[in-house]
Amino acid sequence: MSDLSALESEIAAAVAQAGDEAALEVVRVGALGKKGSVSDLLKTLGSMSSDERKEKGPLINGLRDRVTGLLAERRTALKDAALDARLAAERVDVTLPSPESALGRGRVHPISQVIDELTTIFGDMGFAVAEGPDIEADFLNFTALNFPVGHPAREMHDTFFFNPDANGERKLLRTHTSPVQVRTMMSQKPPIRVIIPGRTYRCDSDQTHTPMFHQVEGLVIDKGSHMGHLKWILEEFCRSFFEVDNVKMRFRPSFFPFTEPSAEVDIQCSRKGGEIRFGEGDDWLEILGCGMVHPNVIRNCGLDPDEYQGFAWGMGIDRIAMLKYGMPDLRAFFDADVRWLSHYGFRPLDMPSLTAGLSV
Ligand code: DAH
């Protein structure tokens, strides 16, 4: 039996030495595994005489039970030690101020903010958002909008053209969001009530022009839509967008090939000390073009102008963003300068809403 106690001390020493759970598992397999030293001893019981088994059985089984106990005890101790070490290493001082998260540091670009504001206001009036591609066919950007081929109005758009394709067709970067009016009328049945925010392109660059800029188009087509509705929508929009109780607007006759009659809209402002304020003063500032959709355009889109009529408007998003938030140079919008963005940008979780405020 001294063999048994020697084996027991050997196993006990190995258990005590095991520094982690993996090492302890090796010891367990060596003793109690299929071919372990204690398992081998248990196997010998079968071939013993009953007297011998009576004597050795309790000794060997006792050894197994004690080894099992030692292993379990050591495993618990190792687990506790590992947890203590982790708790010490990953100590958190809950009294420290919380660091600003990446989400808190990021800023929403004023253009994205203004698009969110626009869609919130027009969404509330029942408008859906429509979109179209930046690379457009000449037909949709010009011809379908009643720009006759060779008409000088095409030249006024400073268009970026692509090289002609195999069929001789020259695609272009859309010069306005108006081609999406055509796409919408061609694909939806009236009543139509959409706004179309998006990127537009013209070969032009100075303090208030960049080759890529943004517009938002509005389109309403139904049986009885008229200029009175247009005026109300635009007034309501300006009041809401510029967050003032009353804005005076002035509709000046103008010309666009795709509207008849056409108008440009100025809003009342004051320009004291170089600062523009809306809803007061006796100055005027032009903010958009609009009109009744030309019967030719309605016809070009496959609708009957004797049955349907409506109105449209187009507005520079960058321009109204500059006006609302007092940003003097449009080019800075697209410089990707983090200092500019952290000054003029918006906190991502302050989503514009009509109830909480558009520009909190
Ligand atoms: N597409 C015009 C432009 O870029 C803006 C415009 C004027 C759009 C009148 C309209 C409109 O829908 O009715 O200059």
- Give the model confidence (pLDDT) of 114-172 as tens digits: 999 999 999 999 999 999 999 999 999 999 999 988 887 777 778 999 999 899 889 99
Instruction: Compute the distance between CA of residue 32 and CA of residue 57 in angstroms, rounded to an integer.
Output: 16
**Which residue has its alpha carbon closest to ligand 1 atom 7?**
289
Same domain, 327 and 248: yes
Same domain, 85 and 111: no
Cα radius of gyration (the chain): 39
Question: Does residue 312 lie in a domain region?
Answer: yes
Same domain, 37 and 170: no
pTM for this structure? Answer: 0.71
CATH number at residue 253: 3.30.930.10
What pLDDT is recorded for position 283?
A: 85
What pLDDT is recorded for position 327?
A: 82
- Residue range(s) defining the domain that contains residue 147: 107-344
Pocket test for ligand 1, best of 147, 156, 176, 199 (most atoms within 8 A of CB): 176
What pLDDT is recorded for position 26?
A: 94
Structure tokens at 80: 């506790």
Segments of the chain scoring below 70 in pLDDT:
1-2, 274, 360
Instruction: Compute the distance between CA of residue 173 and CA of residue 8 in angstroms, rounded to an integer.
Output: 86
Is the peptide bond between 348 and the residue preceding it cis, with omega within 30 degrees of 0?
no
Question: Does residue 96 lie in a domain region?
Answer: no
What pLDDT is recorded for position 278?
A: 80
Same domain, 43 and 131: no
What pLDDT is recorded for position 125?
A: 96
Nearest to 356 by CA among 112, 117, 105, 122: 117
What pLDDT is recorded for position 152?
A: 76
What pLDDT is recorded for position 154?
A: 77
Same domain, 33 and 116: no
Same domain, 185 and 282: yes
Pocket around ligand 1: residues whose beta carbon is below 6 Å from it? 176, 178, 217, 256, 259, 289-291, 312-314
What pLDDT is recorded for position 112?
A: 95
